[in-house]
Amino acid sequence: MQFLNFEKHIADLEGKVKELTGLDLVGEKSENNDNEISKLKEKIGGLIKKTYEKLSPWQITLVARHPERPHFIDYLDILVSDFQILSGDRSFSEDRAVIAGIGTFHSRSVMIIGQEKGFDTDSRLKHNFGMVKPEGFRKIARLLKLADKFGLPIITFVDTAGAYPGIGAEERGQAEAIAQCIKTSLEVKVPFISVIIGEGGSGGALALATSDKVLMLQNSIYSVISPEGCASILWRDNDKAEEAAESLGLTANFLKNKGVIDTIIAEPTGGAHRDHHSTIRNVYDAILQELNELINISPDDLLLKRQEKFLRYGRI
């Protein structure tokens, strides 16, 4: 596992455990070693718990971006059955930064849409690091309408550094595509749940999170700009990302307090990347709970409430 820079003390102890375990393997097994290993393991557990209890906004940013954190495809695999992928924007191309389709979630047919960053060089390139282009946003808008037409609840998974900033993306109307995607989100009359599972980067995230209920994993982030971007613009110094993260209020706790998100989903001790299974289980439970509430609301009320919710932000 890849350790983050603030986990150095944990990494050191893990290294020692490995070393001792290695000795075991070459036949120098002794009870002393066994004792030592279990002591170290206990200590590691304590350290992880202590470290993760009080992560700073910047440390949370690093956890949110951890490459071994469960990705959208991991959730899709476990949470959805009978999945049929739906692709393309019907006017230009397919954008694999977004994976979408219909499937069964807890014995109910749903539309499921998520951003996928990829997990190795090949897949990262294939998915463009989860940075969506105009065709991706147009695919999303198309599928939101499809879900609306057939009364399918919509579940979206957000994990992106932001919309793709490229020449072609601009030429094909990145801004307009995002605007249309948000607009469509504010028109559909089916239950709409979003889960921010890693990075919620600005407009690229919002295009999938203008929903009835926005859920956030405990160590995920949601922000108008990345701490690095903010630091370079306001501080004119890329090294001030830590301070910018502090100022931006991008953590689940902060956003819940401000009423911008609805629910925080707990992560296992040491972060989602240390235990995919429990994380995905928690996400499943949280979605199910919200969905069970939303399906009892009439379509017109759903839409009205969603609009009222978003109109509120900034009002006294």
Partner 1 sequence: MSWLSKFVKPKIHALVKKIEVPNNLWVKCLGCEQMVYNKDLKETYSVCPTCGFHLRLSSTDRMDWILDEGTHREIEISDVVFDPLKFKDKKKYSDRIKEAKSKSNQNDAIFLRSGTIGGQKAVVAVMDFEFMGGSMGSAVGEGIITAAEKAIDINSALVIFTSSGGARMQEGIFSLMQLPRTIIAVNKLKDENIPYIVVLTDPTTGGVTASFAMLGDVTFAEPGALIGFAGPRVIQSTVRETLPEGFQTAEYIYEHGMVDEVVPRSKLKLKIANVIRHLSNNNVGNSARA
Other beta carbons less than 10 A from residue 141's beta carbon: 23
Stretch that binds partner 1, among 5-13, 94-102, 223-231, 283-291 (CB under 8 A): 223-231
Q: In this structure, are strands 221-223 and 192-201 parallel, antiparallel, or unpaired?
A: parallel
Of the candidate residues 206, 208, 215, 283, the single one contacting partner 1 (CB under 8 A): 206
Other beta carbons less than 10 A from residue 29's beta carbon: 11
Q: Does 76 bind partner 1 (CB under 8 A)?
A: no
- Beta-carbon contacts of residue 265 (< 8 Å; ≥ 6 apart): 195, 215, 216, 217, 218, 282, 283, 286
CA 15 to CA 9: how far, in whole Å? 10
Of the candidate residues 98, 113, 241, 250, the single one contacting partner 1 (CB under 8 A): 250
Of the candidate residues 244, 280, 283, 287, the single one contacting partner 1 (CB under 8 A): 244
279's enclosing H/E stretch is: helix 276-294
Q: Does 187 bind partner 1 (CB under 8 A)?
A: yes
CA 156 to CA 210: how far, in whole Å? 10
CA angle 204/274/276 to nearest 5° reads 65
User: 3-state class of 85 per DSSP?
Assistant: strand
Q: Does 253 bind partner 1 (CB under 8 A)?
A: no
Q: Does 305 bind partner 1 (CB under 8 A)?
A: no
281 in Cβ contact with 275 (< 8 Å): no
Nearer to partner 1, 85 or 125 (CB): 125
Q: Does 300 bind partner 1 (CB under 8 A)?
A: no
State the amino acid at position 228 in one-letter form: E
Q: What does DSSP assign to residue 251?
A: B
Stretch that binds partner 1, among 40-48, 54-62, 143-151, 179-187 (CB under 8 A): 179-187
Nearer to partner 1, 27 or 314 (CB): 314
Q: How far is the CB of 3 from partner 1 (least distance, A)?
A: 28
Q: Does 53 bind partner 1 (CB under 8 A)?
A: no
Of the candidate residues 34, 68, 176, 239, the single one contacting partner 1 (CB under 8 A): 176
Of the candidate residues 25, 82, 296, 316, the single one contacting partner 1 (CB under 8 A): 316
| Selection from 227, 225, 220 nearest residue 241 by Cα | 227
Q: How far is the CB of 244 from partner 1 (least distance, A)?
A: 7
Q: Which residues bind partner 1 (CB under 8 A)?
A: 163-167, 169-176, 178-180, 182-183, 185-187, 202-203, 206, 210, 222-225, 229-230, 233-235, 243-244, 247-250, 255, 258, 260, 307, 310-311, 313-316
